[in-house]
Amino acid sequence: MAVATVVNTWARLMVRCSGSAGLLTAAQLGVGHGLGIIDWEPGLQGVGNAWSRLLTWLAFVYAAAVLGAVAAGRRSIISAGAGVASWITAAAAAGLGAAASFPLVWLPVRAAQPAVTTRPELTIAITIGVGIVVGVVLAVTALAAPPIARSVGAGVVWGWLFAVVSVAVTIATHREQMSPRLGLVDVPDLLTRADWLVGPNQMIVVAGGLAAGIAWFARRASAPRVAIALSGLAGPALIACAYVIAGPGFGDQTDQIKPYVVSLIAAGAGLLVSTAIAVADRPPDTEPTPTRAATAEQIAATAPVSPAELEQVSPVRRTGLG
């Protein structure tokens, strides 16, 4: 009976994580395509650098699906023992579930036969495969340390939130819509002089802010210093890995080069901020500690006094004049 219960628990863990990963992958692809964030047509036709943008988003989507599926299966992971074995099993099952949705990407690519590469199906497969591996690695580390889990969760929200904001601003300002670059509010020709506001450099500001907030919260919760230090890296690393997997672009199209480089700088900035918070000395306890004499006097004041002990007290003390 006990064996059957264990098998049941682990089977439920694998089914929940793999099923959640497949659903999350399909949902992200559907929502991304519906909003124009994942734009298949220009990407598959090789218009500008749309192919590289498409690869960046696919790597991010599959890594995020693995992370989301592991988070959804957290209760099953705890039931299975919440150890290294259950962490790896959950992450691997989520990776397999995400990989099962590969036909949703492979079929459009095979039908379009983009001219940007001689083996488009292989390129897509490698991109998705490496994205899943990144998701599995980040998921296992997130399960091992709550600060890292908060960081990778913030990285997923960061990527999607900024993309939705980019689409909303583009529509509101009646500009031509195109697939936004990952990790930044990407609106063409909007406040071009304020590069720190709308350009790729904003990733450094966001990474530093997230790292400071998550590391400060983890420090107050007395998390291990290593976990605090790595918490500033995990979220920005999710964005940076997607750029690294897709590459900086092809030919004379250079709009991906700057976010590619800045994403790596942002990951380093996040690591520096969180490491600084982790290694800083904790503030001393300013609350006064009662001395031995004061403690003994307080105890004596509250303890019952016998008549014999009362006679030993000096007349000055008994009259209250001392």
Q: How large is the average pLDDT for residues 28-53?
A: 80
Q: How large is the average pLDDT for residues 112-133?
A: 82
Per the prediction, the chain carries an average pLDDT of 82
* SS3 state of residue 114: coil
For the whole model, what pTM was predicted?
0.82
Flag the least confident range among 17-21, 113-117, 147-151, 152-156: 113-117
In the chain, the N- to C-terminal Cα span, in Å, equals 77
The pLDDT, as a whole number, for residue 299 is: 42
Q: What is the pLDDT of residues 196-217, one digit of tens each?
A: 556 788 899 999 999 999 999 9
Q: 252 pLDDT band (50/70/90 cuts)? A: low
Measuring CA to CA, which residue among 246, 25, 238 is closest to residue 116?
246
Q: What is the pLDDT of residues 207-249, one digit of tens each?
A: 999 999 999 999 999 899 999 999 999 999 999 999 999 888 7
Percent of the chain with pLDDT over 90: 48
Domain segments of the chain as ranges: 1-144, 152-296
CA angle, residues 307, 312, 313, in degrees to nearest 5: 100
Q: What is the pLDDT of residues 264-316, one digit of tens each?
A: 999 999 999 999 999 986 655 444 444 444 444 554 455 555 555 545 544 44
Helices (H) and strands (E) in the chain, counts: 15, 0
> What six digits make up the tokens of 223?
């998390």
Q: What is the pLDDT of residues 303-315, one digit of tens each?
A: 555 555 545 544 4
d(CA 139, CA 160): 18
Angle between helices 257-279 and 202-220 (to 10 degrees): 20
d(CA 128, CA 67): 14
d(CA 125, CA 117): 13
Asked if 114 contacts 213 with a C-beta cutoff of 8 angstroms, the reply is no
**Close Cβ partners of 176 (under 8 Å, ≥ 6 residues apart):** 170, 188
**Close Cβ partners of 254 (under 8 Å, ≥ 6 residues apart):** 49
d(CA 147, CA 271): 13
The pLDDT, as a whole number, for residue 229 is: 94
Q: State the chain's maximal CA–CA distance in angstroms.
A: 106
CA angle, residues 234, 237, 241, in degrees to nearest 5: 140
Q: 255 pLDDT band (50/70/90 cuts)? A: confident
CA angle, residues 21, 24, 25, in degrees to nearest 5: 85
Flag the least confident range among 33-42, 108-117, 154-163, 256-265: 108-117
Please report the beta strands in 143-244, taking only residues with DSSP state E, as ranges in sequence order: none
Q: How many CB atoms lie within 10 A of CB 110?
A: 12
Q: What is the pLDDT of residues 69-90, one digit of tens each?
A: 999 988 888 887 768 888 999 9
Asked if 132 contacts 63 with a C-beta cutoff of 8 angstroms, the reply is yes
Q: What is the pLDDT of residues 178-199, one digit of tens each?
A: 888 899 888 766 655 555 556 7
For CA atoms 196, 202, 208, 209, the dihedral sign is: positive
For CA atoms 207, 208, 214, 218, the dihedral sign is: positive
d(CA 98, CA 94): 6
Flag the least confident range among 97-106, 146-155, 157-166, 245-254: 245-254
